[in-house]
Chains A and B, each alone.
Chain A
Amino acid sequence: MAERYSSFQSGGRMWLLQRITAVFLLVVLAFHFFLLHFVHHADEVSFLASSARMESLSYYSLMILFLVTATFHGVNGVYNALVNQGLTGTKRTVIKWTLVAASVVLIAQGIRTANAWAGIGLY
């Protein structure tokens, strides 16, 4: 049997989620860069253009899913990095919940922004 080199716990749900979000982000991040830098250009950005894109339900839902998966993948990555550095005990619990709170704020703010563009009243 092959020796395992990964420092992540085998069989963990977070381990699997980190990889599932990675596959999703590979595709959507490439799409995001391509659409907003190569199809449209950085110096052509306007509220009207952002709004027009976000008014499409498929684009809106893709961007919300992008925000949620990117936040999870990034924040879970930071948490894993800190645990690998030897973070344990109370500090680990405090940092974990601080990261959860930061994620909630980031996702809420992202959704408010998307709603503002999409013309949804909730922002």
Chain B
Amino acid sequence: MSQSYNRGLIEDFARWREFEAGMWAWIFHKFTGWVLIGYLFTHIAVLSTGIPAAGASEAAIAAGNDVYTQTIVSLEGLLLVRLLEVGLLAVAVFHMLNGTRLLLTDLGIGLDAQDKSFYASLILTGAITVASVPTFIAGAF
């Protein structure tokens, strides 16, 4: 039988000074999770322009004049969108690396190094994000 404890709200701002690595990992995982599910809904909404585009003439589709191609090309032409995509990559990579860390923790692997594996997730996220910037902004200028 599970038992619940009143631990107060983690989100109470003044408590951040008490946090250790594991708590930051929990907060970042939750924050990146909210961003990713929010993005999934937005992503499907934007991709849905493919539905009316499918009714366009073959000539319009071949020329890229359909509403889907035009929408994506217009969005990808904005530097802001490209920068947001880099942010999305950072958020996704952290969630994936920290998620791997959580899966291993659930299996009892690396419990003694859970703080070190959090720092490794952060560093690796930073490295992958920085290395991906040239690819993500290619053609935006």
Contacts and interface: CB of A to CB of B under 8 A. Distances in A.
The answer to whether A and B assemble together is yes
Given A70-B40, A109-B44, A45 B73 contact: yes
Interface in A1-47: 2, 6, 9-10, 19, 22-23, 25-26, 29-30, 33, 37-38, 41-43, 45-47
Interface residues of A, number: 41
A74 B44 contact: no
Given A9-B2, A22-B103, A42 B139 contact: yes
A42 B132 CA distance: 13
Contacts of A112: 48, 51
Interface of B: 2, 9, 11, 30, 33-34, 36-37, 40-41, 44-45, 47-48, 50-51, 53-54, 56, 61-62, 64, 66, 68-69, 72-73, 76-77, 82, 85, 89, 92, 96, 99-100, 103, 106, 108, 111, 132, 135-136, 138-140
